[in-house]
Amino acid sequence: MRTLPLLVALLLQGPIFGQASPSGSGVRLTLEEAQSLAATRAYNVRYASFDTQEAASSTREIIASGFPQVSGSVEYNRYIDIPTQVSSGDVFGFPDYLNSFLGGVAQATGVPLDAPPADPNAIQEFQFGASQTMTAGITATQLIFSPSYFVGIQAAKAYASGMEAAESKSIADARRAAGEGYAAALAAQENVAILMAAEALAEEALMQTQALVQEGLAESTDADQLELALSEMAQQRATAESMATVALDALKFTVGMPVETTVILADSFETLSSAFDGASVLGTPFDANRLPEIQSQTKNLELSELGIRNEKAAGMPSIGAFYTNQRNAQREAFDFFGAGSWYPIQLVGVQMNIPIWSSFGGKEKVLQAELTRDRASTALEQMTQAATLEYRAARSEYNASLEQRVQAQRGLDLAERILDRTRIRFQEGLASSFDLTQAQNQLVNAQANLAQATLRWFNAHLRLERSLNA
């Protein structure tokens, strides 16, 4: 006797998500709702949103650096020892004309000057200022001309646009992942339904066989074989239900929902089959420039071009202006808020920085920036070709999945007719329990093949949509 094949292993390959009982209470989630939720709540999308906001903030910061910058300062000093200045002994001596005048007066009056002799090695010590000082003021600066500043603004804007494109890519990937997960969840739900239906058929066949055994029209071995097949089906159904529960938690995680949330899948294979418009995606022309990853890499190439301009601009002069207004107070005691004087210090100026010679370092930086540009250009070419290959592979897979689904439907129709004939022949005593079990297994296989083909078609549809960014 052949036993029921393990459909769980077939249907739960790839991304795994679960099912919710329609009779339970919880959040009803359609495919579109799951994709919309993933587009805003998926973890990768949230990280990309943070990057986009940070890039926009950096752009505003760079722009703000070119506007007037004003800062204030307050400084207090307490001198434990006032600095001492020294000078030669005659630094404060009288000038020659005064010395000559006083000498003449001394001679005319007969009164000597009685001045001490000059000592050329004498040192005078002086201490200036008070023991406590405080200075308060403001300083304003304004960038007047800087080529690097204007290039930096362009680079910041290009980077922000690149982050927006990266966020769009994260959203597209999240929508595809949610769609594949939802379709896989439906396949898991279908798997459980198939096993439950097969179990019901086996129970019915077992009851009929037991009745025939009691009437002496069938052997007890036939009933035992059917009972063994029923036991295997029950084990497989329990395993499928357990895995579906775990898979449902994975679906919640993928779309960014708390795992304790109760979710009910509102769509079915039938509703999705009617919602997926194959003619629409097959009729959409391929354009790699629509893809967010291509747009992001294009921005990277633009950034590398601006990097070359920035390195060249580093060799040009920059001009800035400044204004300072300060007040200084000196006290012997801490009494800066009294009636003492505050002495003003005020100045305004312009500063120009002119790079003159960098020992060919600037030339090498330009060369490195050009190599970065060439690398970005090559990456863009590679990504464009890869996107084209992905579209062709997705289109080919979609067409193949359509044909597989048609063949799986034909196989299911044939398996149903075989089971109907075998059941009639079994009731008439013309077929054994082995024949009946085999026909039931064929029907379950056909149902599983159709579910797997439908899942493959859904995933191929989502892949083709993603390759087109449709």
Q: What's the pLDDT score for residue 96? A: 67
pTM of the model: 0.74
Q: What's the pLDDT score for residue 10? A: 30
Q: What's the pLDDT score for residue 230? A: 83
Instruction: Per-residue pLDDT tens, the chain, 470 aa: give them.
Output: 333 333 333 333 333 333 334 444 678 999 999 999 999 999 999 999 999 999 999 999 999 989 999 999 999 999 888 888 887 766 666 666 666 777 777 777 877 766 666 666 777 777 777 889 999 999 999 999 888 899 989 999 999 999 999 999 999 999 999 988 898 888 888 888 888 888 887 788 788 778 877 877 677 887 888 788 788 888 888 888 888 888 788 888 999 998 888 999 998 888 887 777 777 788 889 999 999 999 999 999 999 999 999 888 888 899 999 999 999 998 888 888 878 889 999 999 999 988 888 788 888 989 999 999 999 999 999 999 999 999 999 999 999 999 999 999 999 999 999 988 988 887 777 877 778 778 888 888 898 899 889 989 999 999 999 999 87
Q: What's the pLDDT score for residue 375? A: 95
Q: What's the pLDDT score for residue 120? A: 67
Q: How far is CA 195 from CA 182, 185, 391, 406, in A?
A: 20, 15, 36, 22
Domains located in the chain, CATH noted = 7-67+146-317+355-468 (1.20.1600.10)
**Long-range contacts at 410-416 (CB < 8 A, ≥ 24 apart):** 411/446, 411/449, 411/450, 412/443, 412/446, 412/447, 412/449, 412/450, 414/446, 415/439, 415/442, 415/443, 415/445, 415/446, 415/447, 416/443, 416/446
3-state secondary structure the chain: CCCCCCHHHHHCCCCCCCCCCCCCCCEEECHHHHHHHHHHHCHHHHHHHHHHHHHHHHHHHHHHCCCCEEEEEEEEEECCCCCEEEEECCCCCCCHHHHHHHHHHHHHHCCCCCCCCCCCCCEEEEECCCCEEEEEEEEEEEEEECHHHHHHHHHHHHHHHHHHHHHHHHHHHHHHHHHHHHHHHHHHHHHHHHHHHHHHHHHHHHHHHHHHHHCCCCCHHHHHHHHHHHHHHHHHHHHHHHHHHHHHHHHHHHHCCCCCCCEEECCCHHHHHHHCCHHHHHCCCCCHHHCHHHHHHHHHHHHHHHHHHHHHHCCCCEEEEEEEEEEEEEECCCCCCCCCCCEEEEEEEEEEECCCCCCCHHHHHHHHHHHHHHHHHHHHHHHHHHHHHHHHHHHHHHHHHHHHHHHHHHHHHHHHHHHHHHHHHHHCCCCCHHHHHHHHHHHHHHHHHHHHHHHHHHHHHHHHHHHHCC
Q: Give me 328's structure tokens.
A: 């200084």
Q: What's the pLDDT score for residue 186? A: 85
